[in-house]
């Protein structure tokens, strides 16, 4: 999830009010009175500056100015220094991690760059984070099994496809809650997948 703010946007001579949303890799703007939405990927931004409550973003289409007030500098910093996927998922150096299911090689390399304490195919009792890959509703049954291995503040990330009928966010939420877990965070895992984090409720630790 990103940051959200009501603001006014200026692009050339055009000016409109609406809602801006700062995601992990792009900025979105939805006008309040209809009209075209604005989408600016971080990769398309040539420069980003903040001054006097305004965030100025230069792209090939020109300069877009968002009147954000006190949030302008914070948003600018996040655009210039976006978190890595591992950071968004809470992966820290030397952390004990368990993986259940199939994960892309790129993600595995990211994890190995942070820690060598990785168990694949089984859940280690000392795990601080567990990643479970789910691609169908049938595979959601694994959440109940993994939940039994969670201890203390250990987090369970369930990674599932975006926009697929085979398994939806509501399916994942229902399965996690049925297993007695509490959902605490959702992250864009990749262009095709989402990650939803569960933990054991405080009163059961």
| Domain CATH for 96 | 3.40.50.150
* Same domain, residue pair 188 and 94: yes
> Of all residues in the chain, what percent carry a pLDDT higher than 90?
77
- pLDDT at residue 134 in the model: 96
Last residue of a domain, one of 66, 82, 98: 82
* Same domain, residue pair 155 and 174: yes
Is the Cα torsion angle 38, 44, 50, 52 positive or negative in sign?
Answer: negative
Per-residue pLDDT of 141-164, as tens digits, reads: 999 999 998 989 999 999 999 988
Return d(Cα 155, Cα 150) in angstroms, integer.
7
Return d(Cα 5, Cα 123) in angstroms, integer.
40
CB under 8 Å to 205, separation ≥6 — which residues?
152, 153
Query: 1 vs 199, which has greater pLDDT?
Result: 199
- pLDDT at residue 1 in the model: 43
* Same domain, residue pair 74 and 120: no
Does the global pTM surpass 0.85? no
- pLDDT at residue 36 in the model: 75
* Same domain, residue pair 67 and 122: no
Query: 7 pLDDT band (50/70/90 cuts)?
Result: very high
Report the 10 Å Cβ neighbour count for 150. 21
**pLDDT mean across residues, the chain:** 92
Per-residue pLDDT of 38-53, as tens digits, reads: 999 999 999 999 999 9
Domains held by the chain: number: 2
Per-residue pLDDT of 9-43, as tens digits, reads: 998 888 999 999 998 788 999 998 777 789 999 99
Q: What is the residue range of 66's domain?
A: 3-82
* Same domain, residue pair 117 and 191: yes
Query: 191 vs 86, which has greater pLDDT?
Result: 86
Q: Average pLDDT of 111-138?
A: 93
* Same domain, residue pair 54 and 93: no
* Same domain, residue pair 9 and 99: no
Identify the CA nearest to 140 among candidates 91, 191, 187, 196. 196
Last residue of a domain, one of 42, 62, 82: 82
């Amino acid at each position: 999830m990103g940051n959200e703010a009501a603001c006014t946007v200026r692009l050339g001579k055009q000016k409109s009010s609406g809602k801006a949303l700062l995601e992990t890799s792009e900025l979105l703007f939805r006008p309040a009175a209809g009209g075209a939405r604005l989408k600016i990927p971080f990769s398309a931004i040539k420069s980003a500056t903040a001054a006097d409550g305004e965030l100025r973003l230069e792209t090939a289409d020109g300069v877009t100015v968002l009147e954000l007030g006190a949030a302008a500098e914070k948003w600018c910093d996040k655009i210039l220094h976006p978190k890595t996927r591992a950071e968004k998922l809470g992966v820290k150096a030397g952390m004990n991690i368990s993986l259940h299911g199939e994960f892309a090689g790129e993600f595995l390399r990211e994890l190995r760059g942070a820690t060598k304490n990785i168990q694949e195919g089984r859940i280690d009792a000392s795990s601080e984070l567990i990643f479970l890959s789910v691609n169908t509703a049938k595979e959601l049954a694994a959440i109940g099994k993994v939940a039994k291995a969670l201890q203390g503040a250990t987090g369970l990330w369930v990674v599932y496809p975006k926009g697929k009928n085979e398994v939806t966010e509501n399916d994942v939420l229902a399965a996690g809650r049925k297993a007695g877990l509490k959902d605490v965070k959702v992250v864009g895992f990749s262009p095709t997948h989402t990650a939803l984090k569960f933990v054991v409720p405080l009163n059961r630790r």
